[in-house]
Amino acid sequence: MKNLLFILFLACSIQANAEITMPVTFGDGMVLQRNMPIRIFGEATDGANITVRLNGQEKTAVSQGGNWLLNLDEIPAGGPYELVIIGDGDTIRFKDVMIGEVWFAGGQSNMAFNLENCIDFEKYLPTAENPKLRFLQIPLTEFGPINTNGLQWKNFDKNTVRGFSAVAYFFATELQERLGVTVGIIGSYRGGTWNENWMTPNSIKNTPELKYLFEKYDREYAKYKDEADYEQTYQQYLIDLKNWKANGGWSSGQAPMAPAGPKAYQRPSGLYESMIKPLQPYTIKGCIWYQGEGNSSRHEEFKTLFPAFIEGWRKSWQNPELPFYFVQLPAYGKGSTWPQFRQAQLECFVKIPHCGMVVSEGCGDEKDIHPKVKKPIGDRLGIAISAEVYKQPHVPYGPQVKKVNYYKNKAKVSFDYCDNGLVLSETNIDSFEISGEDKKFRVAQIEIKGNTLYIWNNEVQRPKYIRYAYRPYPQMVLFNKEGLPASPFTTEK
């Protein structure tokens, strides 16, 4: 009888302890999104009663199937506060919590590019710690749970930001100066990736043109006899990768690829599952994104893939109008298909609602796929987002083609985002081209009248197509009076 009572007491004690586990995005010093319902969520013993307190609010939830979620009411910018989460026998306290603007920064190597690798980075370092600029850098996680050792929200200072994304750093700095509130950045990125690595599984499977990605993966993984066979191949890959790094890394050639399987970060949705899904649905204002090098040879497919990618993220972040701003690929001499890819990016920008694109003029390198100039990109993201998302009264972008008319032997091009007029940074240029039906493009003469551009070549009597900066390493010379660059473009189909 005593043993039975002891077992019942033990069972009740276990049930009484909620054993609350919080996602990696929650921690001391975190930033929560202002002026939006704030999702607080985590794991706890099934049936546990959860109470959350913040800034005078108290909300409750019950853990179902081991998970719980509740929404706090909107809170204006402010802090620091203490976020208290109470379960049956368990209490977690997060201190120095700020309410401000939260943005996610993702992509591949040029988003991952550290501030300390930029040219003259020292002059951009903070002169003092800035508690109104904070970041959380998610460690590279190819499979399995995220390593939380040492993972914490950090204030921007001259030491912490050196290893953080340069683009995200410059963006956050620009945005904070414009808004005056605390800005928090969650950075989760990985070099050498394709867009499909970051997509939700459903966004791939529900898009007919993309189903082949999982079908190809399944075929390649099925080649292994069993898990032991796969693991042996994977261990050999780790040896090859170590040798590749020892021999100079990228300077020695292409990196070895992980074998298709559950440990390969290149698998479809692989990095979404390991580096994005564990963060969701933390309340964020929007996303900035710098990726595409890996997909540049599949530029036509990208026109379908990228909208599906964004739609999938909007569902998984639980915001159908989530602002999504991305970087157009810069000039690069070896990017033979980059002109077509930049055009695909431009078309996605025009097509996808609540979406923006910044042009990376001045931020390319003819020989290096990882240019060392990032500040203009971060600044332009801050300019575009502060204008469109936060409704500040300034021009968000450089000139964007609105309409092209042909008369006699000239093309008349009108633009948006240049009410104050167009500007050329140089005059002795060959960036503008024109052709007839034969698509034999010739360097064009140009004339600017206000916000209209006239293009012609006397050898082309019946012009039908024009293009601008449509080369791997183009000379981008067209700006508005505000100093923002026009995107490369072509009108040929």
Each residue's pLDDT tens digit, 432-451: 999 999 999 999 999 999 99
Judged by average pLDDT, the poorest of 48-62, 64-78, 104-118, 238-252 is 238-252
pLDDT of residue 255: 84
Q: What are phi and psi of 174, to 5 degrees?
A: -65, -45
- Beta strand residue intervals within 294-366, DSSP E: 324-327, 355-358
CA distance 96 to 100: 13
Q: Comparing 327 with 128, which gets the higher pLDDT? A: 327
pLDDT of residue 296: 96
User: 188, 198, 68: which is closest to 140 by C-alpha?
Assistant: 188
- Structure confidence by residue, pLDDT tens digits, 5-23: 333 333 333 344 568 999 9
- Structure confidence by residue, pLDDT tens digits, 259-287: 999 999 999 999 999 999 999 999 999 99
- Structure confidence by residue, pLDDT tens digits, 363-422: 999 999 999 999 999 999 999 999 999 999 999 999 999 999 998 899 999 999 999 999
3-state secondary structure of 107: strand
Is-contact 306 343, C-beta < 8 A?
Answer: no
Going from the C-alpha of 343 to that of each of 9, 257, 307, the distances in angstroms are 68, 29, 15
Q: Is the pLDDT of residue 2 over 60?
A: no
User: What residues contact residue 412 under an 8 Å CB cut-off, 6+ apart?
Assistant: 404, 405, 406, 452, 453, 454
Is-contact 56 64, C-beta < 8 A?
Answer: no
pLDDT of residue 102: 98
CA distance 411 to 263: 53
Helix (H) or strand (E) segment spanning residue 411: strand 410-416
- Structure confidence by residue, pLDDT tens digits, 326-343: 999 999 999 899 999 999
